[in-house]
Amino acid sequence: MNTKDLTQRADLTRHGRGTGALRTRRPDYVDFLPPCNDACPAGENIQAWLALAQDGQHEAAWRELVRDNPMPSIHGRVCYHPCEDSCNRIHTDSAVSIHAVERFLGDLALEKKWQFEKPSAKSGRKILIVGAGPSGLSAAYHLTKMGHDVEIREAGPVAGGMIHFGIPAYRMPRDELQAEVSRIENFGVKITLNHRVDDVLAEKEKGGFDAVFVAVGAHISKKIEIPNRDAGKILDAVSFLSKANEGDPPRIGRRVAIYGGGNTAMDAARTAKRLGAETMIIYRRDRSTMPAHDFEADEAMEEGVKINWLRTIKEIDKSTFKVEVMELDENRRPQPTGKFEELEADSLILALGQDTDTAFLESVPGIEFEWDHTVIVDDNMMTGHTGIFAGGDMVPSERSVTIAVGHGKHAARHIDAFLQDSKYVRGPRNELIGHERLHLWYRTNAPKIEQERLPIDRRGTGFDEVLQNLSEEEALFEAKRCLSCGNCFECDGCYGACPQEAIIKLGPGKRYKFDFDKCTGCAVCYEQCPCHAIEMIDEPATAEAQT
């Protein structure tokens, strides 16, 4: 063999290509974890139900979705969709509007009256759940699906927890909320309302329950000391929103100030605006550091809410608020400037965060608490008292509806394992696939469809829902924008690109396989696979030689 031939052979080997005996690498079909699935706090298999939705199989898509999350109509409205923040399509044009497709499927299921499939066998075990909020409802659903008998005991007059009492109807209409709850009841979950649990151990023993899941929401507003605060009318945001959502809002006057910069503050401000008040928000930081989501602040300002950034209340004299101007230091923390302003308002609504009332658990042996009174749980979501589990807002964690629902699902798995004297261990996860590994040779510009919004002039005096649903055609288009990151969607790219006809189609839903008697290891299939569902791996003989 001459020098030129040796050089070409070395070059082919170095790049993992060649023909016949020169093949050092071969293609292999693989599955990766898409970033949307990885980012979902409820653990939904988003890519799987989007694939069914883009094929027009709406009921199958909904059933795939509710394997993990029993309330898609709710989540399509109130979830802050971290899945979309992680969507690889952001690097092409814009993220897939996952929440909008989820809402479409959820609302369609309510319209078609689709019901959950009941378990074929009963376990004979009973579980008590304290609290009918998102975490409790989720745990009840999953435990019932496992064949257990479940009863939720709720202190309030309706189920839904903070979804009902804390989220205004313009974001979460009550008909859809109650329809989702009713379907969980139809599934076999017993919900007892107006039943406050004060003694968990007594209720567990009296009811013959084998385990308890405590999921009490954060209904207590945090307080702050303001000099002369009793001179003005001061309300807490949770009570204000709860009464307003029940149709019995407190009198707030013509001008209202909201103190805080979170999503609850935005909801309180927009609700006060709908009740006819001139509304302003006072917040001690700037917009870049506020806890509220950007779109919440955008919608509030769009509706006429004024936001006073970098201001903190120092004292109140009846309707006059003395506020100090703040400035951010090098660490983005607010510092006083010694400059003051006066603002006028008839009432002040405090939206400074919420706490959970966990005092009823303090007498239970073994249960321990963090400094903020949240309950300490182990990796199995069990408290220090055997058989009592906890989740949602009452454990140390970020707080959102979707996180609470995820807690409910995980708690159900751990409770089920506990009842079987075993331990739930989550299986291995595939490697995460990033946008830089995709081969989007078919890349096109197809930005997401924006949901229509209720016109501004129709929002001022009512609580009609602001965001509108997608049409079936729009939902289909949006679902088809999914890139199927890391998992084969049978596009035939590899099949059509292979110069050796070494790829065999196995039929719809069965993907492909390689004929390695024909495959030369040229890697064209790998380069043509848009979603990176093919990886080039070392030939077995080569791998052995290297060890």
Identify whether the C-beta of residue 114 lies closer than 8 Å to the C-beta of residue 62.
yes
The answer, yes or no, to whether residue 445 has pLDDT greater than 90, is no
pLDDT for residue 546 is more than 80: no
Closest Cα partner for 269 from 244, 286, 291, 246? 244
**347-350/354-355 β-pairing:** unpaired
Give me the pLDDT at residue 155, please: 94
Higher per-residue pLDDT: 22 or 71:
71
What pLDDT is attached to residue 183?
98
Least confident window among 31-35, 84-88, 286-290, 458-462:
458-462
Of 2 and 348, the structure prediction assigns the larger pLDDT to 348
Q: What pLDDT was estimated at residue 231?
A: 61
Q: Which two tokens stand for residue 294?
A: 């950007």
- Cβ contact 537:28 at 8 Å: yes
- What's at 426, amino acid-wise? R
**18-32, 255-269, 370-384: least confident range:** 18-32
Q: What pLDDT is recorded for position 438?
A: 94
The reported pTM is 0.91
Q: Any long-range contacts for 171-174 (C-beta under 8 Å, 24+ apart)? A: 171/77, 171/78, 171/267, 171/465, 171/466, 171/467, 172/74, 172/77, 172/78, 173/465
Place domain 126-219+356-419 in its CATH homologous superfamily. FAD/NAD(P)-binding domain (3.50.50.60)
Contact present, 378 and 396 (Cβ < 8 Å): no
Residue 59: its pLDDT value, please? 98
Range from 66-70, 189-193, 289-293, 465-469 carrying the lowest mean pLDDT:
289-293
Do residues 24 and 43 lie in contact, with contact meaning Cβ atoms separated by under 8 Å?
Answer: no
Q: What pLDDT is stored for residue 2 in this prediction?
A: 44
Sign of CA dihedral 546, 16, 484, 83: positive
Question: What confidence tens digit (pLDDT) does each residue in 290-349 have?
Answer: 999 888 999 999 999 999 999 999 999 888 999 999 999 998 899 999 999 999 999 999
Q: Which helix (H) or strand (E) holds 415?
A: helix 401-419
pLDDT for residue 229: 60
Average of per-residue pLDDT values in the chain: 91
pLDDT at 13: 41
Distances (CA, A) of 405 to 135, 270, 362, 515: 5, 26, 25, 45
Q: What is the pLDDT of residues 36-53, one digit of tens each?
A: 999 999 999 999 999 999
The answer to whether 189 touches 144, Cβ cutoff 8 Å, is: yes
Would residue 290 be called left, alpha or beta, if left means φ above 0 and alpha means ψ between -120 and 50 degrees?
beta
**Second-level CATH architecture of 37-114+441-477:** Orthogonal Bundle (1.10)
Q: What are phi and psi of 406, to 5 degrees?
A: -65, -40
Domain positions in the chain are 3-31+488-546, 37-114+441-477, 126-219+356-419, 221-353
Q: Residue 349 forms beta bridges with which residues? A: 235, 258
118 pLDDT tier (thresholds 50, 70, 90): very high
Residue 505: predicted pLDDT:
96
- DSSP states of 276-323: T-EEEEE-SS-GGG-SS-HHHHHHHHHTT-EEE-SEEEEEEETTEEEE
Measured torsion, CA atoms of residues 195, 200, 204, 206, in degrees rounded to the nearest 10 = -70
Confidence of residue 443 (pLDDT cuts 50, 70, 90): low
- Residue 472 to residue 451: CA distance in whole angstroms: 13
pLDDT band at 271 (very low <50, low <70, confident <90, very high): very high
Looking at domain 221-353, its CATH class is alpha beta
Residue 12 above 70 pLDDT? no
Q: What is the pLDDT of residue 11?
A: 43
Band the pLDDT of 542: cuts 50, 70, 90. low
Of 518, 516, 517, the closest CA to residue 537 belongs to: 516
Residue 232: the pLDDT is 66
With a CB cutoff of 8 Å and minimum separation 6, the contacts of 53 are: 61, 101, 105, 475, 476, 479
For 340-363, the three-class secondary structure string (H helix, E strand, C coil) is EEEEECCEEEECCCEECCCHHHCC
Q: pLDDT class for 462, splitting at 50, 70, 90?
A: confident
pLDDT tier for residue 495 given thresholds of 50, 70 and 90: very high
Same fold, 126-219+356-419 and 221-353: yes
Region of poorest pLDDT, from 13-27, 35-49, 284-298, 394-408: 13-27
pLDDT over 90 (residue 10): no
416 pLDDT more than 70: yes
Rg value, the chain, Cα: 28
Reply yes or no on domain 3-31+488-546 having CATH 3.30.70.20. Answer: yes
Percent of residues, the chain, with pLDDT higher than 70: 94
